[in-house]
Amino acid sequence: SKMMLQRSTRSPKDFKLTPARCTSASSSIRCKPRSLREPSLARPKIHRTAAMLRYASDNMPACADGKFLMDSHFAKDSGLAPRQVFRNLPPSQLYELALAFEPGTHITSTGALATLSGEKMGRSPMDKRIVRDPETEKDLWWGPYSPNYVMDDRTFLTNRERAIDYLNTLDRIFVVDAFVNWDPASRLKIRVVTSRAYHALFMHNMLIRPTPEELESFGEPDFVIYNAGAFPANKYTNFMTSQTSIDLSLKHKEMVILGTMYAGEMKKGVFTLMHYLMPMQGKLSLHSGCNVGARGDVTLFFGLSGTGKTTLSADPKRPLIGDDEHVWCDTGVFNIEGGCYAKCIGLKRETEPEIWNAIRFGTVLENVDYDPATRLVDYDSQRLTENTRASYPIEYISNAQIPCVGGHPQNVILLACDAFGVLPPVSRLTLEQAMYHFISGYTAKVAGTEVGVKEPTATFSACFGSAFLMLHPYKYATMLADKMSRHGTRAWLVNTGWTGGKYGVGKRISLKHTRAIIDAIHNGELERGDYVSTPIFGLQVPTQVTGVPAEILSPEKVWSEKNEFASTLNHLGHMFVKNFQCFSDGDAFVGAEMAARILTGGPSPLPEEMVAKTGFGAITAVVAPPIRA
């Protein structure tokens, strides 16, 4: 069939069914709406010549035999009947198809493929829907504080049909068949059906790539993603609040994407699925980084954006098991993914050489800015978005551990960037404190660009990834405590934020000192020595750490205004307590006794008027005596 391309600068919300010229497929002639031919991309403006399209046509890869797809019960049930199918193409061919048919796609000076995701340049958590069905609803967390917005089965099938109808009109679709979970006993087969070569390359990178023999015997997938993100949802459909919808059905074992071409929705959709399937098998899914030392000692790193999770877990002395998604099972830990999805904003060779060197041929650079003449990427630019990303296979990290598995963790490190400047640089946690702070998922963001705003803002994300949770946070936390107890795992709270005062007064704890703390955790130094207990939070703080000034270990010692320190610390304690009210229904999932035990790990703030009146003396009156390690 003769291929044509019409450039569109419209976003998904502008799609309308307008008359268009006919295109032929096989022996039939179908009229395709112009707006359905290719995904819309806002910039830059590119004019494809007839010669370019002829070149693309002459060099089109051979289509896959569609039998593998059409014989699947998923295709039969959904009505998927594509014109042409490209299955598991190598990066080089996906490059060519993206460059030919996806405006705004270019090869950068590094060899990476730079592309645009359209109007949506980040996830849309308010548009994510979970189908409520009798088989699974009793296990899932619902309610006003849950990330699981409900959808019924009929609406899911309506959206699926809308997605399938769109995919069936296209000249070509891409299929990626691959795996999740490096543990062979936990491995699942994932099928991705999408309209864009960029999406296929992204999931080629992010999933575990099959060998030719594994692909030949792939068979029926365990889960299917239909990515029709270039076409909008009908916002007048039940349960819709916009023209974007990301819908997951555990019953049908399918996911539907409409109205967003941001590739991260596929990655996190798979992670959301794992957050249900793995715990139901007694395996703990975790939003964490993970590395391993020469002695086989594994460490899990938890932390929200800006806490240093990626930087600290990418330690040249310790091979990387994974940067983002893991499972802790009876034999140890394993990575869920086959790739990494790193933030690029502010990326520098000097500070993050592993990520810098991973950006080469085969890498997808999503929504980055670059010089149009030299194709040099400007990693500091926020012209398109602050959420610039790089997707690459994990073997692009020079010290990655392949296979991506390890033993039982020896240390769990919870990272917080405390912009209030009141948490110690490092604290040893009890099991109860580990559960409480894991559930809290605390960090603090500094003031933005609004004139007059100078105060930091507390941010809480349950289990350091609330948007992806399927079960109640208490469920994940009790599983974590159980595994830590059985395997003798230590938990640590590491503050990478401010010291000597809050943001605007104090200064950021140096990366050098934080690395020294992490080294002291890994070499066992912090297992020995003396500890003191902090007021309000009751944290155990070491009195000395090699390479770290002793005075900054206890935050109050480096605050010049002791009364202000007391009120700030106490106020942060109240914020923790208030946030925990979101989980007051936890006893229904873990029992009243465990729920009460979790609460004992939290802070005990004093009445704010009492601290305002008495000052620093109010909090020092309740400090516990020193503790021997």
Query: What amino acid positions are annotated as catalytic residues?
Result: 123, 268, 287, 305, 309-310, 324, 389
Strand bridging mode 339-343 / 298-302: unpaired
Helix, coil or strand: residue 34:
helix
CA–CA dist 152, 249 (Å, integer):
9
Strand bridging mode 188-194 / 289-292: unpaired
CA–CA dist 568, 284 (Å, integer):
35
The one-letter code for the residue type at 415 is L
Check if the beta carbon of residue 333 is closer than 8 Å to that of residue 290.
Answer: yes
- Residues 6 or more apart whose CB falls under 8 angstroms from that of 36 comprise 15, 166, 169, 170, 231
- Cα dihedral 605/609/615/618 (nearest 10): -50
- Residues 6 or more apart whose CB falls under 8 angstroms from that of 55 comprise 100
Tokens standing for residue 25: 């497929």
Helix, coil or strand: residue 121:
coil
Strand bridging mode 540-542 / 530-533: antiparallel
The one-letter code for the residue type at 266 is M
Helix, coil or strand: residue 300:
strand
Assign 3-state DSSP to the chain and report helix, strand, coil percentages, each to 5.
Answer: 35, 20, 45
Tokens standing for residue 17: 């069914």
Tokens standing for residue 5: 């391309």
Helix, coil or strand: residue 192:
strand
Tokens standing for residue 86: 């490209």
- Residues 6 or more apart whose CB falls under 8 angstroms from that of 60 comprise 97
By C-alpha distance, which of 168, 217, 169, 175 is closest to 192?
A: 175
Residue bearing tokens 């699974």: 136
- The DSSP result for 498-557, as a single string, is EESSSTTTSEEPPHHHHHHHHHHHHTTGGGSSEEEEPTTT--EEES-BTTB-HHHHSGGG
Phi, psi of 468 (to 5 degrees): -110, 0
Strands (DSSP E) contained in 379-456 are 389-393, 405-406, 409-416, 426-429, 442-445
CA–CA dist 57, 100 (Å, integer):
9
- What residues pair up with 190 in beta bridges, in sequence order? 178, 223
E strand or H helix that includes residue 576: helix 562-580
